[in-house]
Amino acid sequence: MADLFSLRGQVALITGGSSGIGRATARAMGEAGAAVVVSSENGAACREAAQELQDQGVRAQAVPCDVQDRDQLAALVAETVRQFGGLDAVVHAAGVAPHSGPMGEASQDEWDLTMQVNLGAAWHLSTLVREHLMVRGGSLTLISSIAGVRGNRSLGVYGVSKAGLTQLARNLAVEWGPQNIRVNSISPGLIRTAFARPMLERPGVMERRLALTPLRRVGEVHEVAGVAVMLASRAGAFITGQNIVVDGGTTIGDGS
């Protein structure tokens, strides 16, 4: 059974890999046996995350990259292949939410940044990794959000970008399936990360939110990372074009 979830022999690339869900995914994939490239725009944090993995005996390298820059994305993919000889699993966890509040109050810069990082970068990255994933029958996993599967009063711009990301996964799954490439998205709910800290630090908001969540708790990063490992492993070999919701039941609960 353990071999079903093994990533031995795989090379995994994680954007947004120096913090939060991305860092937990890099750790989980390394522990499952993959060689890991940790990437984000924060070079020092990337090196720290990669060193942590190396200290655990994982083959890991830090390759900083600003995902808004197409040239840097191309260099990231090329360096990954140069260092490890190929590419099997890509997880795009980089994401931003610069605007909170009604969508009509978002600035053009906030809209552009959100779409460029959360959606545009995923599209550009996908075009760069396709030829490498095709060689090995690999997988691409896009970290989306439940903000992209329902309406939201304060994260509308972010939600639109994540809805697009989930649809990107579906479209690529249809296009790339005949080439033996699997593409899925994961939509976390409220997960204990620095990204979610503004909400986690508001007791009144949290009380209402947890009352709407059947499991009555906040999720942990490893609970999302585990799904990413499954999707990259033999256990997920017949799953493609899916959006897997990891939210403790928030989106299906009736509040009772």
The one-character DSSP state at 65 is -
Domain layout of the chain by residue ranges: 11-243
Query: How far is 56 from 53, CA to CA, in rounded Å?
Result: 5
Closest by alpha carbon to 12, among 228, 165, 166? Answer: 228
Q: Which CATH superfamily is domain 11-243 in?
A: NAD(P)-binding Rossmann-like Domain (3.40.50.720)
Are the C-beta atoms of 191 and 219 separated by less than 8 Å? yes
Alpha helices by DSSP H, listed for the chain, are 20-31, 43-55, 70-84, 108-115, 121-136, 156-176, 197-200, 203-211, 221-232
What tokens appear for 62 in the block?
């830090």
* Residue 45 is among the residues annotated as catalytic for this protein: no
Burial class (CB in 10 A: 0-12, 13-18, 19+), 56: exposed
Query: How far is 95 from 110, CA to CA, in rounded Å?
Result: 13
Catalytic residue among 46, 81, 91, 158: 158
- Measured in whole angstroms, the distance separating CA 189 from the mean position of its chain's CA atoms is 13
pLDDT in tens, the chain (256 residues): 669 999 999 999 999 999 999 999 999 999 999 999 999 999 999 999 999 999 999 999 999 999 999 999 999 999 999 999 999 999 999 999 889 889 999 999 999 999 999 999 999 999 999 999 999 999 999 999 999 999 888 889 999 999 999 999 999 999 999 999 999 999 999 898 777 677 777 777 777 878 888 898 889 999 999 999 999 999 999 999 999 999 999 898 776 6
Identify the pLDDT of residue 141: 98
> Which amino acid makes up residue 81?
V
3-state secondary structure of 12: strand
**How many Å is the maximal CA-CA distance in the chain?**
53
Identify the pLDDT of residue 60: 97
